[in-house]
């Protein structure tokens, strides 16, 4: 009977763990997985013919304002809420001392949040580490972040985040 139960649970995608329930499978995400399929901000760029605008063109400033608003309100993928995930990205510290970082924004490309505009909210994750395990790295390190993803907005002068991972495990990036 127990063998049949184990077989049924395995068929449902779960695997027994230490007896406290089912072990959750970690989902390795790409940055595209954080963007809803129907969100297409490039239509705004096409509307303004952004490639033909000079920096001092009033339409360029109008486009930048609209992009900032669009980025801040970028939709998230609600189905990812609560999932155990693993994702690579770059560190943009929010607070740190000389040797460790406890809170940072994880972003998809080097230099994000320095350039204008920063990545959209659905391409930025607020990451906090456990109090006793801050990340011992530096600005713009490439890292793997693992933890439970929450769909919850965050706003800071460096950018807006549509997701958060608290108590994250952070390690230097190495290809698998």
pLDDT higher than threshold 90 for residue 8:
no
Query: What does the mean pLDDT of the chain come to?
Result: 82
CA distance 119 to 70: 11
Query: By three-state DSSP, how is residue 158 classified?
Result: coil
The reported pTM is 0.78
CA distance 154 to 163: 8
Go through the domains of the chain in sequence order and give each one's CATH number: 26-172 (2.40.50.870)
Q: Which of 38, 67, 34 is nearest to 53 (CA)?
A: 67
CA distance 17 to 141: 34
User: Tell me, what's the pLDDT at 11?
Assistant: 34
User: Tell me, what's the pLDDT at 98?
Assistant: 66
Read off the pLDDT of residues 43-69 as tens digits, 9 standing for 90 and up.
888 888 878 888 888 988 898 888 888
pLDDT higher than threshold 70 for residue 5:
no
User: Rounded to the nearest 5°, which phi and psi values hold at 163?
Assistant: -135, 160
pLDDT higher than threshold 80 for residue 22:
no
Least confident stretch, 47-51, 55-59, 97-101, 114-118: 114-118
Q: Which of 105, 102, 122, 127 is nearest to 114 (CA)?
A: 105
CA distance 10 to 13: 5
Read off the pLDDT of residues 126-168 as tens digits, 9 standing for 90 and up.
999 998 999 988 777 899 999 999 999 999 887 889 999 999 9
């Amino acid at each position: 009977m127990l063998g049949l139960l184990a077989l049924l649970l395995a068929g449902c995608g779960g695997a027994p763990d230490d007896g406290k329930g089912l072990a959750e499978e970690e989902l390795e995400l790409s940055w595209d997985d954080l963007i809803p399929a129907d969100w297409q901000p490039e239509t705004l760029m096409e509307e303004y013919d952004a490639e033909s605008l000079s920096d001092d063109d009033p339409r360029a400033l109008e486009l930048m304002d609209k992009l900032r608003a669009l980025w801040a309100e970028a939709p998230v993928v609600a189905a990812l809420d609560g999932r155990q995930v693993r994702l690579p990205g770059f560190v943009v510290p929010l607070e740190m001392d000389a040797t460790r970082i406890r809170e940072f924004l994880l972003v998809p490309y080097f230099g994000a949040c320095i350039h204008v505009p920063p990545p959209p909210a659905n391409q930025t994750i607020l990451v906090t580490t456990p109090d006793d395990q801050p990340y011992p790295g530096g600005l713009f390190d490439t890292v793997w972040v693992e933890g439970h993803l929450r769909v919850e907005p965050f706003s800071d002068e460096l950018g807006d985040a549509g997701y958060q991972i608290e108590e994250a495990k952070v390690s230097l990036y190495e290809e698998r």
